[in-house]
Amino acid sequence: MTLRPILIHPDPRLKKVADPVAEVSKEIRKQADDMIETMYDAPGIGLAAPQIGILNRLLVMDAQRDPEAKPNPMVLINPEVIWESDEKNVYEEGCLSIPDQFAEVERPKMVRVRWLDLDGKAVEEEFDNLWATCVQHEIDHLNGTLFIDYLKPLKRQMITRKMQKLKRELARG
């Protein structure tokens, strides 16, 4: 497994719509392994392939809160929301591509998602609360949407400027 650098906003690759995975190949399984390692290392509860510069519809997540629990990462290939609840939930979201910035985002409290697993088998599951927030946040990444796109323009601009400054500092070393 290889740790991959996580892209920081603003980056044009984070604004692109990712391509469907045509075949669950050895290369896709390697990408998923690298993403799991990168997510736990960050640390984060999710990671989408575009965040490491790969424009595939692939995401990983592990939103269990119990720090004692054994890691149990999920890998979702070509995920699609097939149902969402009318009931909403507000969660203070963060993003590994927008470090140290948090904001409340309202999303459906529950979603039913269909995807392919690592054997290429179709799977469906209902997610709620933090898991639902996380899977929606990650699917947004596959569509070039960031959580700051739900904020008022002024707040979004402020965060983007902070990230531009951070990137300049990181580039200077």
Of the pair 95, 159, the CB lying nearest Zn ion is at 95
Of the pair 23, 126, the CB lying nearest ligand K1U is at 126
Does 138 sit near ligand K1U (CB under 6 A)? yes
SS3 call for 144 = coil
Does 31 sit near ligand K1U (CB under 6 A)? no
Of the pair 23, 125, the CB lying nearest ligand K1U is at 125
Q: What are 33's two structure tokens?
A: 């392994």
Among ligand K1U, Zn ion, none, what binds residue 44 when CB lies within 5 to 8 Å by partner kind? ligand K1U
Does 133 sit near ligand K1U (CB under 6 A)? yes
Of the pair 77, 139, the CB lying nearest Zn ion is at 139
Binding region for Zn ion (CB under 5 A) out of 7-15, 88-96, 106-114, 165-173: 88-96
Q: What are 38's two structure tokens?
A: 């990168």
Binding region for ligand K1U (CB under 6 A) out of 10-18, 44-52, 73-81, 161-169: 44-52
Binding region for ligand K1U (CB under 6 A) out of 27-35, 79-87, 120-128, 135-143: 135-143
Q: For strand 74-84 and strand 122-128, is the pairing parallel, antiparallel, or unpaired?
A: unpaired
Number of residues that bind ligand K1U (CB under 6 A): 17
Task: Provide DSSP, 27-77.
Answer: HHHHHHHHHHHHHHHTT-SEEEGGGGT--BSEEEE-----TTSPP--EEEE
Bridge-partner residues for 90, per DSSP? 106
CA distances from 1 to 24, 31, 33, 88 (A): 18, 9, 6, 37
Single residue of 8, 32, 77, 95 touching Zn ion by CB under 5 A: 95
Residue 14's nearest CA partner among 137, 111, 114 is 137
Q: How far apart are CA 104 and CA 133, in angstroms?
A: 11
Q: Is 104 a catalytic residue?
A: no
Chain residues that interact with ligand K1U, rule: CB under 6 A = 43-48, 91, 93-97, 133-134, 137-138, 141
